[in-house]
A and B are shown apart, each in its own frame.
Chain A
Amino acid sequence: MTTNISFSLNGDEISYDVKDHWTLLHLLREKMGLIGTKEGCGNGECGACTVIVDKLAINSCLYLAVEVDGKTIETIEGLASTEGSLHPLQQSFVDNGGIQCGFCTPGMIMSSKALLDENPDADREEIKHALAGNICRCTGYIQIFESVEAVKGMGGQNE
């Protein structure tokens, strides 16, 4: 079964014929070539595939593509400005050692962005809670927390 859906993706209005069994991750990575969203487990356990749907951080490997009809999606590719400058959260992950192998990074940044968009002054405990579903094997999380804290109050916004 194929369904035509419309959604907003990183500011672009998209219309797409999707198979009903496709996940949002499959649509983004395999069909639209947005490789920034990663698959770490395919099972909703690691958070590498996190994107933001209607302001909520979700695991795109567990989210059916047909369900984004009429919704607004943000992926890692949509964060940097059109002139190429990094979003403050991206810059902060770079500057504070929040990135080693980088495989968890897009998911980490998207979870952090959803948090700060909602709660610009999130404290360490709230950050820990928001990132509890994003596994990182390299950093021990400390420099990731510091990366998020460094942009607190800026609301994760670059507009």
Chain B
Amino acid sequence: MSKNNSEFSVVGKRIPKLDAAQKAMGRAEYIQDVKLPGMLYGKILYSRYAHANIVKIDTSKAVALPGVHAVLTGEDVPKKMKMGFIKDNPPIKKGKVCSLRDEVAAVAAISPEIAKKALGLIEIEYEELEGIFDPEKAMEKDSPLVNEHLKSNVLKMPWDIHYGDVEKAEKESAFVVEDRFTTTWVTHCCMGTSGAVALFDASENLTIYTNTQIPSLAHKDFLEALKAMGLENKRVRVIKPIIGGGFGSKLDTYAYEHIAILLAYKCRKPVKVVFDRVEEFKATSTRQPTITYIKQGCDKNGKLLFRDMRMVLDNGGHTSWGATTPSVMLMPISSLYRVENVKYVAKCVYTNNTYSQAMRGYGNPQATFAIESSMDILAEKSGIDRIEFRRINKNQSGDETPQGLKITSCGLEECIDAVKKELKFDGKNEKSVGTGIASLIHVGGGARIYGSDGCGAILKMDDYGKVDVFTGGTDMGQGMDNITAQIVAEELGLLAEDINVIHSDTDICPWDVGAHASRSTFVAGNAALGAAKKVKKKIQAIASKLFDAPAGKIKFKNKLVFVPGDEEKSMPIGKLLRKAHFRPGGTMLMAENFYDPDNENMGKELKGNMSMTYSFGAHGAKVKVDEETGKVEVLEYVAAHDVGRAINPLLLEGQVYGGVVMGLGYALTEEVTVKDGEIMNANFRDYKLFTAKDAVKIKAPVIETDDKDGPFGAKGIGEPGCVPTAPAIANAVYDAVGVRIKNLPITPEKVLAALKEKNN
């Protein structure tokens, strides 16, 4: 490592989250808390059927209800107002509905109660159509069509990839294993539900308060919405209140935002649409469910020769970012462990179920579940110890993977070793106790899935040594604000508390592609670091004249600007700033920086180095299986990550612990139960999140590999915590009782059924 943590003053320190005191006092304002003068309340009516034609809508009774200001149906939505990345989804449907979450009408009224009452007065006549809920059946020729005009339920997506020669490699393999794995719908369960408040000013410019993770792309979507409404050349301002959890759920723009805009325009008053918890379960998007067929083979020494994967993804009735998760699944499929020959085919299929979106890991948890379960099966078939098998095939610095990913810093081996050391994989467990391991690769240096992967930062210093940083980055609780502050403070010799990070408003903050792909530390961090370096240079030039010393000799520490070794040449930074400002021809210090990483879009060949660097990790679990009930108890958990450098170990641990527990829910308890398109468990009693009672002891060893491109060597860590959790648990269950559960979640019922089958 080029730099030791002890050389830093602010980086590497456990500095509490900058907005935590505000939150602890109950003063943080979330979308639920936004109240504007004259504000109306919007409510949305959803379809009664998963697949139906809308024959007739009568809104007259709702319109007549006192207190109601507007009632909208699909007829009121401009033709070109569509959502989703292939724009197949109008915010209120007209003519036909494709899922039970399809919006069919919306109301604005003077109170939420009246708005709700009005929904009940809207009369809709439907003609029910045959629904299709199984994606594999939806691919059959005589299946009902979700979108008749497309003539097929299979989306036109490019996921048909072949690197090397899989057929040849299979013939050369000494051992081959083949399995089918499935993952189901799970949902983000942000504690703060979704919502937006929209209002127009006298010149028909839009301001929208919304808890989005993509302020700049939302800004673009809403500009397009205004254009569709005939409002050309108007302005859009997106204001983010404090976000009550994101996890990917706010990575698209949604019907509730567009409906708030339409209602606000129609009423010429602010309109607030906020989801209740049932709506949050039913009308927000889930993690993409998958059916995966995987075949892997190795030679007699355990060298992995090929990986052949085929997936079917349930796309639901409309298309959001869930359909693009294969672009990220491709990363572990092509590049988790060294494997030269890779095939990946994914089909996204329309059904009348709910549609999926981004959720922490963006497809990686689903793919890694299949890969790492299969790795264990192949290790056993080859007769090679499962940890040794992974070490044989480990990724290493300097590798270029078949997809074209360039592996720079890589601490995978150290992570595997850390898990082995902490969990004592010696095979000497008591009855029904077992251990499991699974590794991960994830983007750690941005992810170019859009034209730009950039983020802007504007830095402004006052006369006293305090700094405002206006960043494109988004904090939703994960700590982007702290990381930015610590990076800027380190560079300028200040304290984190001297840095005010502003990330709430598109009118004042620069562009950013969004808080996704674990990219905030790396990309927003580098953006802020670049701006700080520019300001630093300016201060050095000023100090150089004042001290009569070369600019390169001027250092910054403890709020002082000084020349080391010369006590005369030292000045508090505030004093220096005032000297620069309050004089004829004075100056104030500001800088802007737009950082767009040098990573690559995948071209037509679906090859390219999508991230500047990659984060690695290995998770290990020790579980006990109750063979009477099938219940899996997690006794110990180790989550080792290569993070480049821990800018803030306190927040880093929080990301890992939180990610692991979300991953444990994915592994063991969480499942949106869907019957004929209907979500049956839209509440916290029946949707089983881990509670405080279920909390698990987690060790989180941190491996620092000092990435050459990361800010102070750091890589992203937002998502990795929940990536290999499910296979680590599945592998531990197999080790404990000899049954392999291939369908998530690993419920007691499934374990018990498998034990019964094994014992018969």
Contact with A along B489-523 (1 / 0, CB 8 A): 00000000000000000000000000000000000
Alpha-carbon distance between A138 and B660 when the two chains are bound, in angstroms: 10
- Interface flag for B268 (CB, 8 Å): no
Alpha-carbon distance between A86 and B26 when the two chains are bound, in angstroms: 11
Contact with B along A123-139 (1 / 0, CB 8 A): 00001110111111111
- Interface flag for A153 (CB, 8 Å): no
A73: min CB distance to chain B, Å: 14
Query: A86-B21, A90-B21, A103-B244 given as contacts; is B657 within 8 A of A132 (CB)?
Result: no
- Interface flag for B760 (CB, 8 Å): no
Are A137 and B242 in touch, CB under 8 angstroms? Answer: no
A139: min CB distance to chain B, Å: 5
- A94: contacting residue among B21, B29, B193, CB under 8 A: B21
- Interface flag for A104 (CB, 8 Å): yes
- Interface flag for A23 (CB, 8 Å): no
Are B692 and A132 in touch, CB under 8 angstroms? Answer: yes
Alpha-carbon distance between A146 and B359 when the two chains are bound, in angstroms: 28
- Interface flag for A60 (CB, 8 Å): no
- A38: contacting residue among B32, B189, B661, CB under 8 A: B32
- Interface flag for B630 (CB, 8 Å): no
A146: min CB distance to chain B, Å: 10
- Interface flag for A154 (CB, 8 Å): no
Question: Which candidate, B159-167, B216-224, B390-398, B647-655, is the interface stretch facing chain A?
Answer: B647-655
- Interface flag for B421 (CB, 8 Å): no
Instruction: Pick the most buried of A35, A100, A127: most chain B CB atoms within 10 A of its CB.
Output: A100
- Interface flag for A120 (CB, 8 Å): no
Interface hits, B8-36 → A, CB 8 Å: 14, 16-17, 19-30, 32-33
- Interface flag for B277 (CB, 8 Å): yes
Alpha-carbon distance between A97 and B658 when the two chains are bound, in angstroms: 11
- Interface flag for B689 (CB, 8 Å): yes
Alpha-carbon distance between A100 and B654 when the two chains are bound, in angstroms: 8
- Interface flag for B312 (CB, 8 Å): no
Contact with B along A80-115 (1 / 0, CB 8 A): 100000100011011111011111111001000000
Query: A128-B692, A129-B693 given as contacts; is B479 within 8 A of A99 (CB)?
Result: no
Chain B binding site: helix, strand, loop or mixed by DSSP?
loop
Are A142 and B25 in touch, CB under 8 angstroms? Answer: no
Are B16 and A102 in touch, CB under 8 angstroms? Answer: no
Alpha-carbon distance between A79 and B477 when the two chains are bound, in angstroms: 22
Nearest residue in A to B686 (C-beta to C-beta)? A45
- Interface flag for B683 (CB, 8 Å): yes
Query: A37-B26, A45-B683, A132-B693 given as contacts; is B657 within 8 A of A99 (CB)?
Result: no
Please report the total number of A residues contacting B with Cβ < 8 Å.
53
A97: min CB distance to chain B, Å: 5
- Interface flag for A40 (CB, 8 Å): yes
B390: min CB distance to chain A, Å: 25
**Residues in A whose Cβ lies below 8 Å from that of B190:** 101, 103, 137
- Interface flag for A5 (CB, 8 Å): no
**Residues in B whose Cβ lies below 8 Å from that of A86:** 21, 24-25
Alpha-carbon distance between A94 and B651 when the two chains are bound, in angstroms: 11
Alpha-carbon distance between A143 and B245 when the two chains are bound, in angstroms: 17
**Residues in B whose Cβ lies below 8 Å from that of A42:** 276-277
- Interface flag for B698 (CB, 8 Å): yes
A57: min CB distance to chain B, Å: 13
Instruction: Pick the most buried of A35, A93, A96: most chain B CB atoms within 10 A of its CB.
Output: A35
Instruction: Pick the most buried of B246, B685, B692: most chain A CB atoms within 10 A of its CB.
Output: B692
Are A76 and B654 in touch, CB under 8 angstroms? Answer: no
Alpha-carbon distance between A109 and B26 when the two chains are bound, in angstroms: 10
Query: A43-B683, A139-B657 given as contacts; is B478 within 8 A of A100 (CB)?
Result: yes
- Interface flag for B55 (CB, 8 Å): no
- Interface flag for B188 (CB, 8 Å): yes
Are A137 and B188 in touch, CB under 8 angstroms? Answer: yes
- B243: contacting residue among A36, A101, A141, CB under 8 A: A101
Interface hits, A1-45 → B, CB 8 Å: 34-43, 45
- Interface flag for A46 (CB, 8 Å): yes
Alpha-carbon distance between A145 and B33 when the two chains are bound, in angstroms: 28
- Interface flag for B662 (CB, 8 Å): yes
Are B20 and A94 in touch, CB under 8 angstroms? Answer: yes
Query: A94-B24, A109-B24 given as contacts; is B661 within 8 A of A141 (CB)?
Result: yes
Interface hits, B27-75 → A, CB 8 Å: 27-30, 32-33
The 9 closest A-B pairs by CB, nearest first: A36-B26, A101-B477, A102-B23, A140-B661, A103-B244, A140-B657, A76-B26, A100-B477, A45-B684
In the assembled complex, 12 residue pairs joining A and B whose CB atoms fall closer than 8 Å, in A order, are A38-B192, A40-B191, A76-B24, A100-B479, A101-B192, A102-B19, A105-B26, A128-B693, A139-B657, A140-B657, A141-B661, A143-B654
**CB within 8 Å of A: which residues of B?**
14, 16-17, 19-30, 32-33, 188-193, 242-247, 276-277, 476-479, 650-651, 653-654, 657-662, 683-685, 689-693, 695-696, 698
**CB within 8 Å of B: which residues of A?**
34-43, 45-46, 48, 75-77, 79-80, 86, 90-91, 93-97, 99-106, 109, 127-129, 131-145
